[in-house]
Amino acid sequence: MTTTATHDLDMLMACKIVTENFAVNLPELKNANETWTEETVVSLMNRVERAFNYFLGMEANRESALARNKLNHIQAQALRAVVFLKTRIEVIYALDLVRKNQVLDRLGFKAYLKAIYEKDTGMLLELLGNINKNLTEDIRKDLIRNEADRFFIERLSQYAVKLQKANLSRTSLLSARKAITEQAGEIYNELLLEVLDICSEATAYYRDKPAKAKLFDFSFIIKNPLIASVSAQ
């Protein structure tokens, strides 16, 4: 039923105008259909708003943006922690270059650091996993000099879990975008069919009142949206 995005938006705008005209003329239109009530109008308005939200991507983008922001925040924290750990290692082993290079290599800094500076989430996860796996007791003893150091090491081990969860959440939302798009089409089509039914009954009811009938002439509304709304009159 849909063709182009511009055409769909025009149709949605027409649905919105019909809904507004329907609300204003409901006292009379109840005579045309006894099932039409204030609840009918409220339900229709809510579905028009929902259709606009889906059409404009607001439903999908809102959740996706939240997930992206969360991922970026955790990733930035994890990166700062990793860089701090590297600096800490370089300071502690400043007088033992061989040992320093051994530790940096063992923990994965030489293999992954360049990639994570490019905000590669996968590489950062691998580096964090490598650090957790290879941060042996002897290295821990060298790094931990006080409670603040101990707290930092414990917190560093948690970043891998947090980042993994945030990344999975973001990936899941991206894969769900197709389903959301399909749902948007269903919402749009159901709304359009109901609005067209309202237009059909309303124009029949107002057959002796051409000015009122035009308020529910869908083709006329699409071509003349600025003059087809009750609010514009």
Query: Do residues 102 and 139 share a domain?
Result: yes
DSSP 8-state assignment for residue 207: T
For residue 107, the SS3 value is: helix
Q: Is residue 222 part of a domain?
A: yes
The closest alpha carbon to 129, from 90, 82, 93, 89, belongs to 82
Query: Do residues 166 and 151 share a domain?
Result: yes
Predicted local confidence at residue 232, as pLDDT: 45
Q: Is residue 121 part of a domain?
A: yes
* Structure confidence by residue, pLDDT tens digits, 39-57: 999 999 998 988 877 766 6
| Per-chain mean pLDDT for the chain | 82
* Segments forming the whole domain that contains residue 141: 61-174
The closest alpha carbon to 170, from 17, 67, 32, 47, belongs to 67
Question: Which residue has better confidence, 199 or 9?
Answer: 199
126 CB-near residues (< 8 Å, 6+ apart): 108, 112
Query: Do residues 147 and 199 share a domain?
Result: no
> How many domains in the chain?
2
- As a whole number, mean pLDDT of residues 128-139 equals 89
Least confident of 93-97, 99-103, 184-188: 184-188
d(CA 52, CA 35): 26
Q: Is residue 88 part of a domain?
A: yes
Q: Is residue 30 part of a domain?
A: yes
Query: Do residues 15 and 41 share a domain?
Result: yes
Question: Which residue has better confidence, 136 or 172?
Answer: 136
Q: What would the two tokens of residue 179 be?
A: 């389903």
Query: Do residues 70 and 165 share a domain?
Result: yes
* Structure confidence by residue, pLDDT tens digits, 171-201: 655 554 555 566 667 788 888 999 999 999 9
Query: Do residues 136 and 43 share a domain?
Result: no
Q: Is residue 200 part of a domain?
A: yes
Q: Is residue 27 part of a domain?
A: yes
Query: Do residues 54 and 65 share a domain?
Result: no
Question: Which residue has better confidence, 90 or 1?
Answer: 90
